[in-house]
């Protein structure tokens, strides 16, 4: 999924954070009916605490997760649901993968190193890149860094009970999907990385450090080893990535770089295909277990969708992710409006408003989810009204040049 940058821009308000009492009570009440007693772990101390921040700055520790981590919240009896869906996944999910021989590869879009015209092709690429503004490159680098943290995302999928790859080469349909999905996604970071290297516009060593820090930090999207939560999360993220890469494609075209537009558009097309697969899984869960699935959806939205690159760090800027996200919001590559639009799309895609036969708890979750998109938009409008004046910050990715955030 190329689990994309800021699924909800960091400066934007969102209702019901996971640390709030309202979220905790709702989450715990839903688990009382649908989840077994979960294991809970405290993650590392939050780097946002000022004293700890200063300490970390001195020792150059990257940021870590700072919330209470919950594991194995799905009741054991639900494992049978995913086992029973093996054949269905074979017929309905694996079809959204492409054979390797029919897939595009990064080299299809880049200068051919074996050709006599290689240097001339690189020169042409660099000339086109000169016309693209620095703030666009901030977003493109952030997208690439997020794509390159793919090992973390495969690890996340393999934490999900009932669908993980138990051996590393399991023949279950779920395991085959995860490995092949990862293989397809791997091309995205490869292509953007090589393009940026050849462009000459960015500091590749700083970018490489950012990638290493991000993979080392990992992420906890609060999916609790629960495939209900996990597939809702991936459905949301794949659509977010589709939107983001689509917008970078459009803007590359506006800046006159048709090859870069083709690159970003091709990646967006992959994300759309993967989105179709993940949303289809959740659609099937709504068919089999509408009550449990709508409760899971409400739970994820109350906790909010954790951004996959929110622990982004370059060894210098502890606010790197927030600054990157602010640039993406300003350029309208990915915005709070997109977040609300994605939720509204999924509510329609899964026909949430039409669900019947729900428990009282399920109906409350249904009402909450259906009413959330307009609520998010209202909160964002208020946040924009209170927004501070823009300022400039240096980005190490661009050799320390300052960018408006």
d(CA 203, CA 206): 6
Q: Which residues are catalytic?
A: 104, 147, 185, 188, 238, 241, 270-271, 274
CB 127 within 8 A of CB 257: no
Strands 68-71 and 39-42: antiparallel
| DSSP annotation string for 256-314 | T-HHHHHHHHHHHHHHHHHHHHHHHHHHHHHHH-HHHHHHHHHHHHHH----TTTT---
Residues comprising the chain, all counted = 405
C-alpha distances (whole Å) from 330 to each of 141, 320, 323, 336 are: 16, 15, 11, 11
CA dist., res. 139 & res. 150, Å (int): 18
CA 301 to chain centre: 14
Q: CB–CB of 365/372 below 8 Å?
A: no
| Angstrom distance (rounded) from CA 122 to CA 14 | 44
**In 281-397, where do the E strands start and end?**
392-395
- Contact predicate 70/40, CB 8 Å: yes
Gap between the Cα atoms of 211 and 149, Å rounded: 7
Buried b or exposed e, range 200-219, using 16+ CB within 10 angstroms: ebbbeebbebbbbbbbebeb
Phi, psi of 364 (to 5 degrees): -65, -40
Distance CA 286, CA 279 (A): 11
């Amino acid at each position: 999924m190329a689990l994309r940058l800021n699924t909800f821009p960091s400066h934007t308000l969102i209702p019901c954070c996971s640390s709030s009492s309202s979220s905790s009570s709702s989450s715990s009440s839903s688990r009382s009916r649908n989840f077994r007693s979960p294991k809970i772990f405290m993650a590392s101390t939050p780097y946002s605490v000022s004293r700890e921040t200063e300490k970390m700055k001195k020792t150059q520790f990257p940021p870590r997760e700072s919330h209470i981590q919950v594991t194995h919240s799905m009741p054991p009896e639900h494992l049978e649901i995913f086992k029973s869906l093996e054949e269905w996944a074979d017929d309905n999910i694996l079809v959204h993968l492409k054979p390797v021989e029919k897939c595009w590869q990064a080299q299809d879009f880049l200068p051919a190193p074996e050709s006599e015209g290689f240097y001339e092709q690189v020169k042409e690429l660099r000339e086109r890149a000169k016309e693209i503004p620095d703030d666009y490159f901030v977003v493109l680098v952030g997208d690439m860094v997020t794509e390159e943290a793919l090992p973390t995302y495969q690890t996340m999928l393999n934490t999900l009970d009932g669908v993980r790859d138990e051996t590393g080469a399991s023949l279950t349909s779920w395991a085959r999907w995860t490995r092949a999905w990862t293989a397809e996604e791997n091309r995205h970071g490869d292509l953007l990385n090589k393009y940026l290297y050849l462009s000459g516009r960015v500091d590749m060593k700083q970018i490489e450090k950012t990638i290493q820090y991000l993979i080392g930090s990992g992420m906890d999207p609060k999916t609790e080893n629960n495939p209900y939560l996990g597939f809702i999360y991936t459905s949301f993220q794949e659509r977010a990535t589709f939107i983001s890469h689509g917008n970078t494609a459009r803007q590359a075209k506006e800046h006159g770089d048709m090859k870069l537009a083709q690159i970003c558009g091709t990646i967006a097309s992959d994300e759309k295909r993967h989105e179709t697969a993940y949303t289809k899984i959740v659609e099937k869960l709504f068919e089999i277990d509408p009550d449990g699935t709508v409760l899971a959806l409400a739970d994820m939205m109350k906790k909010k969708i954790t951004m996959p690159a929110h622990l982004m760090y370059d060894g210098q800027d502890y606010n790197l992710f927030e600054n990157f996200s602010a640039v993406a919001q300003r350029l309208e590559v990915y915005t709070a409006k997109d977040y609300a639009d994605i939720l509204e799309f999924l509510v329609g895609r899964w026909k949430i408003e039409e669900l019947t036969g729900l428990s009282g708890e399920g109906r409350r979750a249904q009402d909450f989810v259906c009413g959330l998109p307009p609520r998010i938009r209202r909160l964002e409008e208020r946040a924009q009204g209170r927004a501070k004046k823009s300022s400039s910050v240096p980005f190490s990715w661009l050799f320390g040049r300052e960018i408006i955030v």
